Structure formats: C-alpha cells, structure tokens
Structure 1
Amino acid sequence: MIDFEVRELRYFRAVAEELNFSRAAERLGMAQPPLSRAIRQLERRLGVQLFERTTHHVTLTVAGLTLFDEAERALDAMSAAARRTRRAALTTPTLVVTAKAGVATDLLRRIVEAYGALPDAPRVEIAVSGYGEQADMLRDGRADLALLGSPFDRRGLDIEPLISEPRVAALPSGHELAHRTALSCRDLAGLPMPQCPGSTASERDYWAGRDCYASQANESAERRPDVPVSGPVVHDSSQLLEAVALGQAVALIPTSLAERNLRDDVAYRPVHDASPYSIAIAWRDCTRAYWTARLVRTAVELTAGQDGGKLAEIA
C-alpha cells in the first residue's frame, strides 16, 4: 500500500497550480531543489510520471490530472477532520453555518432562531461568506452546514432544496429593453453582464441566462447566443446594482433581490424562460451527526412545511 504524506500532497498541488517549480517553491517558502526532489520521489513511489517537463514548460500528465483532483479532496478531508475534532472538544458544542450576505443570510437567521428554540440545541455560529465560498467551507471543515445559492457545486455534498424563485432582468432605467413588459434570455444575449471573480463557465452561463440552451439538443450552435465576454467585475449585489444603474451592465437577479432594492435608476423586468434561483441547505455527505440532521429538518420545516428525502440518511 502506498501512503501519501500531507507534505507531499501540498508540494504537488502547489506545482500543479503554478505549473512552475520556481514559483511553487517561492509560494511554499522553500528552495526549488528540495521541492523538485520531493516530486521525483513521489513519482518513483507511485510508479507514474505526474509532470511533463521541458526547458520552458511544465504540464500535468493524465496521471497528474487525476492526482490533482484526488489531492484536493484528500487535503480538504484532512483539514475538515482537524477542524471538526477541535470543535468537538469545545466546552460548549458549536455548529458553524454559513451563507452569502443578503437573502441567504436573512433566511439563515430565521432558521437558526427556530433551531435555537429546540431543547438542548447546541450553540450555532453564523459565518457570513463571499460568492462561491460556501461549498469550499463545507469541504475543508470551516463550516458544518451552508446555504447555497444557484448554481450549486454539489461535489461531495448532500443538498436539500429549500426555496425557489423566478429571476428578473435588472436594466438601467433608460435602456431600450426597459420599455418592454417582459423579456426572454435571448433578448439579453451579447449585452455586458457583471462578472464574479473566480466563477466557472457553467456559473457564467447561468448568470447570463445561457443555461436554458444547454439542454436544448435541437438548438444549433449558430442560433445560440454568444457568451458575454465583457462586463464589470463585481463582488456583491450592491456593487452589481450600481454597475447596472451606471449603464455598465444588465443582470439576471433573484426576484427577492429586486424587491429589496427598488430604485429609480434601475428597472426590473420578468424574463419568462430564465431558470429559477434556488437556495438549498447543504452538508458533507459523510456527516451523520444528530444535531446537523435536526438543523436541516428545521430548515425544511420552516421553508416547506415537510421533511425532505435526505433527512432520514443522516438522522
């Protein structure tokens, strides 16, 4: 049996992400020669080549790409085990739950209040997180549960849907589309849209309203709208709405966000074929803790009035 060392996996991940041994060594705070030796020793033990090396380029082999994915999961699992073990030793048991600021944190506060009314419920700590951070916080143990907003990154997680709502187009009040009563996703094609840092291609498709075409096999490539490649980078909903008001972009946003931000310089119009915005509660698929299950059950009862299918698996 081949055992990995945490140190080796961290070394490998650094080189795989930088694709440059010098930059990886600098990032790790070490010299390059011992880093190169450590990677070669790992390759010899595994009996595979992880990197193709030339004078000017370093690339991952097929085996290296596999270890890249596996190493991420392994390192997250080890970090999660350490964090959760420390939390279990606290004098006051604590569950950490997280959500992105806005509609999700408002919902999370209501869930936590209802949960806190249960007899002997442990203390709950709410951690407000940024765009796309929630799933990673579950995987590496910084959080026990999270509220995820569409689109979901489900890898290694169990998810229970809570609420779903339509999305609307947010437009500068003077925009030509603002004079119409309803729109389609195709009407928005090619217009600049806000870009979230670190978002994936599928996430960009969702926020641009292009995801509705992905499942239409009879939609020819020529007829599909172009992916919007321009638009200001935004970090939160307030910045997004300011970009819209200034005429720098249009956006597809949840109806509840529009209702909370009525303003003269932004017009909201329904988009009949836009996929909905959903919020789900998520936890690691290896979690079986009783109080985690109770918090999930509380969330489902508060939002839907009935238990969900996943609850029995962790109760």
Structure 2
Amino acid sequence: MQEKRNIILVALVLSVVLMFAKFSAYLITSSNFILTDAAESIVNVLASAFAFYSITLASQPKDINHPYGHGKVEFFSVFIEGTLITIAGIGIVFKAAYNLFYPHEVQNLITGAIIIGVTGGINGLMGYYMIRQGKILKSITIEADGRHLITDMVTSSGLVVGVIFIHLLGYLWLDSVLSIGVGLYIIFTGYKLVRKSVGGLMDEADFNVVQDIIKVLNDSRKEEWIDIHNLRAQKYGHELHIDCHMTLPNYFDLNRVHDEVALVDKLINEGASVKTELFIHTDPCLPDCCHYCSMPNCPIRFEAKSKDIEWTMDNITRNKKHFED
C-alpha cells in the first residue's frame, strides 16, 4: 500500500509543477487553446490529491463499520476525477464558443507550444507508468489517474499541432474551434471515468474477473466438486470478494468439506492473481446429480455418469444446480 501512496504522491507533486508551467504558457500567449490544457491541469492536481486521500483510506484495515474494508472509496475517487474532468471540459467549450464570436489577439505561440509539448511528454511518461503499476497493484485509482494523464498527453500533442497551424495560418477563429474540439474530447473522457466508477459502486459484474475465476476452477477441477453455481464476484478496491455454492458428495464429513473449500480458496488466490475473500456455501449432492458426477466408487450412486458439464459463465453464475433447467 505504501507503494501506491508513493506513486500518487509523485503524481501530485508533478501535477502542481506542470500546472504552473501551463499557466505560464497561457499568460505568454493569451491563447484559449493553451488555456484548455492549463485548465485541465487544475483537475490533475485536484484528482491526484483526492486519489492520495482515497488510497490512504483504502489501506485502513476492516472494522465493525466497514466489514468489507474501505476499498470502495477508490471508485468514489474515480467518480470525483471523472466529474471534475467533465466540468473542466464543459467550461472549456463555453469559453471557446464565446471567443469564437469575440476573438482576441494571441502571441508567442511557438514558445507556448514548446512549453505545452514538454509538459505533455512528461505527463505521458508518468501516465503510462501509472497505468502499468495500477494493473500490477490492482488499483483502479492509480490506473484512472494514469489514463487521465495519457488523455492530457493526447490533448497536449493535438494542441501543439494546432498552435503551429494557428501560427502559420494566422486565423484567430481556429484557436477557438480547436479548443471546442479538445473540450468535447475531455468531456467524453470524463464520462467514461464516471461510468466506470458508477459501475463499481453499483457492484456491476466484472466479466473479465469472473472469466479468470472460471478458468482457474476448470483447470483445477476435482472429481469431488460436483458443481459450482450462484457465483458472484465483487471488487472492493484492490480486493475481490466471491460468493458461491459448491455441491459436494453428501457423505463427506465436516472435515472433508472444509478441506475442499480451503483448496478452492487457495487455488483462486494463487491463480487469479488478486487477493480474494471467498464465502462458499456447500450443498449436498442429490440423486439428480449422478448423471454428471465424476466421483469414482460412489456408495450412493443412483445411475452411471452419462454427461460432462463444463463450467461456463452461464451455468456457474445461475442460482441453481446444473441439472435444473
């Protein structure tokens, strides 16, 4: 967790430095187009500051008020970041639209382009690093902040090209038109972050995570595991929580049942590459399970096995045993 905080802290300090550099470029040029990048840098600072707070809070241990931990605050952090980006984009569009009808003189565009180009390059390098580390550390906050910085790099690159065109062609209206285009792109980026955060806060299913779990279970499947159903996966920050039902032979004693459940827990935690807390409800087998049960020398078998059932997204997430339609 300390590594996460260090990454966000570096991003925060860097954002403050680059914000001052971008506003210096705006003061030098008086360009709305450059102001769009400078305004977004304020969002970078606010987002990194809140991300640092959320990761610090998410690292707190579980308590009586938060039995699943504090990890969901990371989704809230992403929501705040996406909202701020969207507001910045809307403000940029309105100001650029105003100056489209009431243009003002711009100057020193090449100097401004150089400053913005350098800041964009630095943000791009930091963004790629944060996305990579966010995936490794399973942190949606770090990954979202990294994607925000990548967005900043893209807009800065487009800005540099646009500023050069404005300088060469001398069309003042082009400054406002390009600003509107960048503002709309920023709004779209903010929307995607808000959508992702709301999905996490509403416990929207992460199909990639569920598919990884299903693969681990299929690859390690034992004859004793007659079926697994009603599987639900929820992410709480860097942790994953799984509920499921597992059907075992009804003549297993409690110790044997515990051993099988513990093995599933171990396999998922080792194979799914994410810290996982499992709540497994065990069901006793029924005579209707016999036709797909692989248990050898079963003392209570009613009929021979006649069917193999592969565990899939469809049958492992339904709240019913595999013989039920």
How would you bin the TM-score normalised by the shorter chain?
under 0.3
Greater relative CO (CA pairs within 8 A, separation 6+): 1
Q: Which structure: larger Rg?
A: 2
- After TM superposition, the score normalised by the length of structure 1 is 0.24
Normalized per residue, which structure has more strand? 1
Normalized per residue, which structure has more helix? 2
- After TM superposition, the score normalised by the length of structure 2 is 0.23
